Structure 1
Amino acid sequence: MKSVQLLFLFLSVLLFSVPAIAQMPDAPDRTEGEGPFERLILRGGTMIDGTGSPAVGPVDIVIEGNEIVRIQNVGYPGVPINEQRRPQADSNTREIDLEGMYILPGFFDMHAHTGGNAQGTVPEYVYKLWLAHGITSIREPGSFNGFDWTMRHKERSDANEITAPRIFPYIGFGSGADGSIQTPEQAREWVQMIAERGAMGIKFFGARPEIYEATLDEANSLGIGSMAHHAQPRVVYANVSQTADMGLRGMTHWYGLPEAMFEDRVIQDYPLDYNYSNEQHRFEEAGRLWKQAAEPGSETWNNLMDKLLEKEFEINPTFTIYEASRDLMAQRRAEWHEKYTTPSLWQFFQPDRRAHGSYWFDWGTEQEVAWKENYRIWMQFINEYKNRGGRVTLGSDAGYIYKLYGFAYIQEMEMFREAGFHPLEIFQSASIKAAEVLGVDDRLGTIEEGKLADLVIVSENPQQNLKVLYGTGAIRVNDQNEVERVGGVRYTIKDGIVFDAVQLLEDVRRIVEESKEENDFKITQPGLDY
């Protein structure tokens, strides 16, 4: 009988190609950002507060230290601001003019891996890409750089000693155990151990039912969160319906949802030559899975949704990480790769039978058409779940499959829009819905007096065009018939510290350029020399 710990290690390597031998370097001490200030006033911006409220402005927002203490409406659109209504500055006040800009609550990436040795990325590079796209908090699912490493960086981020988002560590089940976990009693002891060490949650790939149940029971009794990637090697043990009954609090990706709605089968219709270790097999057949489930709107469909709604179950779909499956060329040729993707990460993305997510061995039209249909049904389920009151959060899972940190998060927003979410609903999922899952909605997730100052400031209206949130901005032709770029996050404020998002991207560009020079490297397309 295989131990649960061995299963975790097997799946970690198989799913993510994460070597356990080389330690990720630490992030450097913070030299970026100004503040927190004794008093900071953000002047004249338009506020989208994350509650679901429509935009309001112009407003002045007063921040003292790391806390929002006052939000003052100071006028009306198109009318000069009444200076008498504005909070007054003194000699200790820093002011930033945000006229014409938009202010949103800091974003949460709820599926965010801090790079890895396989990708050759370092935390400074990853953290700056996240912050440059307004991501002020991340959930680290699995914490694959090591429990101690992740907790150390969480603590240093909390103390603002490093340039990084807030880190909410979810520990891969079995990680750090003293020996293998083979019994429910051992599972409970492991949960107690990670709770004492400060873990905020657990990430599962799968486990035997009695182990799952004991772990979740102990986690829930201790207030530890939980999420699962219902990996195909173990989804027959427990699909989403079954793990939700056991007490699981949420899921990431979508594996386990269709399996919970099978009506004429128990196991996915795998081809007889299927091998899970063959990445093309794995992802090609995953693209046919939703068609094997119950029809949308059927009794089976509705029963599962009703159950998850009753349990206030979180779904973190990560649409974007599979996007290349429906249009490989578009993701491979994304305009930001040339400037912001490191040589090591680009090489990791290339077709390779040994690397996770590099499954382009013979990927063609038929596979992409199947995935487009897969997305249609998947998005219908997620949008309906949201419409019926379900909690849906945003996550990118970047660092795989041509997905670059930060940029992939904005792509996820665009895919939520495609699924049917209003932009205000997207910003809810990016902020307050995530804060609720993590239990920090009393201090983060919306722009309100008394909450911490985690904010995103962008120079264009992101409701009208989500592309203005990309670090590369959006294309616009001006009145002189000249092509220009507009948007991009201007400032990211985390814990009252103001980061210049443009400068953070310039730092990333420098890291990439230095690596290219050192390795005499240029980006080329697979099988081509250009």
Structure 2
Amino acid sequence: MSHIKTEIEPFAIEHATVATGDEDGRTLHDSTIVVDGLGRIRTVGPSSEVIVPPGYHKIDATGKVVSPGMINGHVHTFSKGKPLDPEGSTPEGQRKAAKLAHSPIGKAAMYANSRSNVMTLLNSGVTTIRTVGDVGYENATLRDRIEAGREVGPRILPSGPMLAIPDGHGAPLLALESTTPEEARRNAETNIDHGATALKIAATGGVTDSQVLGEAGAPQMTIEDMSAICETAHANDIIVAAHAQSREGVFRALKAGVDTIEHGCELDDELIDLFLNNPRSLRGYSALEPTLSAGLPMKFLSQEALHMTDIQMANSVDVVKGMVNGTQQAHRAGIKVGVGTDTAMPFVTQYGTWREMYLLVRFGGFTPAEAFHAGTQVTAEIIGVSDVTGSLEEGKYADLLVLDENPVDNLRTLEHPLLVVAAGHPVWHPHVERFADIDAELDEAYK
């Protein structure tokens, strides 16, 4: 997978402790990382042995930690993570918003908004993102600009709009709608033709746009429709995600060949076996991104703070319970569990990717080393970019962070990276706009 094509000033980070992101929390002491003019890692080794080529800019990282950049596999860029607008989540509200968003002025505004949110992700230490439900193809456009070297940004795998049934989850604002396998296939092809390198299915109803009791988790798309999407995607070597929040919804999505389940549910032996051995998926297995960051606010914060309706709050109870229990079960069963936060959802800020790893420890049964491994190497594999990123290895792109502490000792050090490097391009003094009220409520809820 290509990335930024322009040459950069080659550099070396010297005398750093390297947090590898390995599952066992392995570190390398007093190490030097050499990054060439194409943004790739040329050498990683002991500082006493590495010879930095002439002309390379040297950065002394004595007392600091270098780690792989974070990877967020479940991103939306249409909002910043503030509380819901209940009226805007109704089908009528979505239709009005969709009409505006797809107008010439709306498209320009949506691109600017998405770009701002993507740059917040980058400045927070996220060097690769997969979007899983866009208003249009704004993130494909941004991806192209980054890859052409016109601006610095994270690696983006854009999905374009979700694929849903009429008035299904995310529709019509964030989805293309279909009623048959043929229409579903055409919608998948439309996204791919517009540059999508990821696809997202709305397999079930969701909480935040639910209008009746029981809608969240209710199956919406048939196995046949989802199979048509998966076949189209897999023929193009594209991984398919599915929003699924019930046992039946997850089962249907897995049987159709979906590669990643978003949110999930309480698991049983049949589901676990399908995750571990899924012959219709692209790689023979499926993975889980539980997005605890999106679910747990509905358990721990007040309805008033969330701005959610009575129906939405009632629908969230079983869904969130299933997400937490499913995370624990998946971890114990050896299912690959990745980090995706569902940015833009209520109380899921664009800068809070670190918190998902903390929640995997607090509620999912992970060790800090396992959680950091999930947010780097595992998610890179899950979304299909482990050949170029996710770890600090020779030949891979220099997607890395300079930190005050080792994330394995304190995951919260990821909240304030000292330096972010995306494909060899340094982001000096990274800064994000934070929402003190949201951060304070989440800190109190999860302490």
* Fold shared, TM-score > 0.5 on shorter chain: yes
Contact 1:114 1:126 (8 Å CA) reproduced: yes
Task: Using structure 1 for the length normalisation, give the TM-score.
Answer: 0.63
Counterpart selection for 2:428 from 500, 503, 508: 500
SS at match of 2:232: helix
Asked if residue 68 in structure 1 is aligned to residue 41 in structure 2, the reply is: yes
Cα separation, partners in 2 of 1:155 and 1:213, compared to 1, 3 Å: same
User: Which residue of structure 2 aligns with residue 310 of structure 1?
Assistant: 277
Contact 2:78 2:134 (8 Å CA) reproduced: no
User: Which residue of structure 2 aligns with residue 229 of structure 1?
Assistant: 243
User: Which residue of structure 2 aligns with residue 468 of structure 1?
Assistant: 413
User: Which residue of structure 1 aligns with residue 361 of structure 2?
Assistant: 417
Cα separation, partners in 2 of 1:176 and 1:211, compared to 1, 3 Å: farther
Q: Deviations over 1:96-121 (max 9, x none)?
A: 11111111111111111113499699
Q: Deviations over 1:190-218 (max 9, x none)?
A: 33333333211221113233322222223
CA RMSD of superposed structures (Å): 3.5
Q: Deviations over 1:14-71 (max 9, x none)?
A: xxxxxxxxxxxxxxxxxxxxx9644211011111223435111110000102010111
Letter in structure 1 aligned against 2:52: Q
Counterpart selection for 2:56 from 93, 105, 109: 93
Structure 1: 5+ residue stretches without partners: 1-34, 75-81, 262-300, 330-349, 471-487, 514-522, 526-530
CA distance in 2, matches of 1:219, 1:363: 32
Equivalenced residue count is 371
Contact 1:213 1:246 (8 Å CA) reproduced: yes
CA distance in 2, matches of 1:455, 1:251: 27
Largest Rg, 1 or 2: 1
Matched ranges for 1:114-513 at <5 A: 114-116=77-79, 122-144=113-135, 146-147=136-137, 149-171=138-160, 172-173=162-163, 181-206=178-203, 207-230=221-244, 239-254=249-264, 257-258=265-266, 301-311=268-278, 312-328=285-301, 351=304, 358-359=307-308, 378-406=323-351, 408-418=352-362, 419-470=364-415, 488-502=416-430, 504-505=431-432, 508=433
CA distance in 2, matches of 1:250, 1:432: 16
Cα separation, partners in 2 of 1:496 and 1:382, compared to 1, 3 Å: same
Contact 2:16 2:29 (8 Å CA) reproduced: yes
Shift of 1:305: 1.1
CA distance in 2, matches of 1:203, 1:493: 28
Shift of 1:489: 0.7
Task: Using structure 2 for the length normalisation, give the TM-score.
Answer: 0.73
SS at match of 1:315: strand
Shift of 1:168: 0.6
Q: Deviations over 1:138-172 (max 9, x none)?
A: 1110112x12x221111112234234322111231
User: Which residue of structure 2 aligns with residue 264 of structure 1?
Assistant: none
Contact 1:227 1:252 (8 Å CA) reproduced: yes
Cα separation, partners in 2 of 1:323 and 1:380, compared to 1, 3 Å: closer
Cα separation, partners in 2 of 1:375 and 1:150, compared to 1, 3 Å: closer
Cα separation, partners in 2 of 1:61 and 1:389, compared to 1, 3 Å: same
SS at match of 2:418: strand
Tell me the percent identity.
Answer: 23
CA distance in 1, matches of 2:115, 2:178: 34
SS at match of 2:158: strand
SS at match of 1:187: helix
CA distance in 2, matches of 1:360, 1:463: 39
User: Which residue of structure 1 aligns with residue 105 of structure 2?
Assistant: none
Letter in structure 2 aligned against 1:137: T
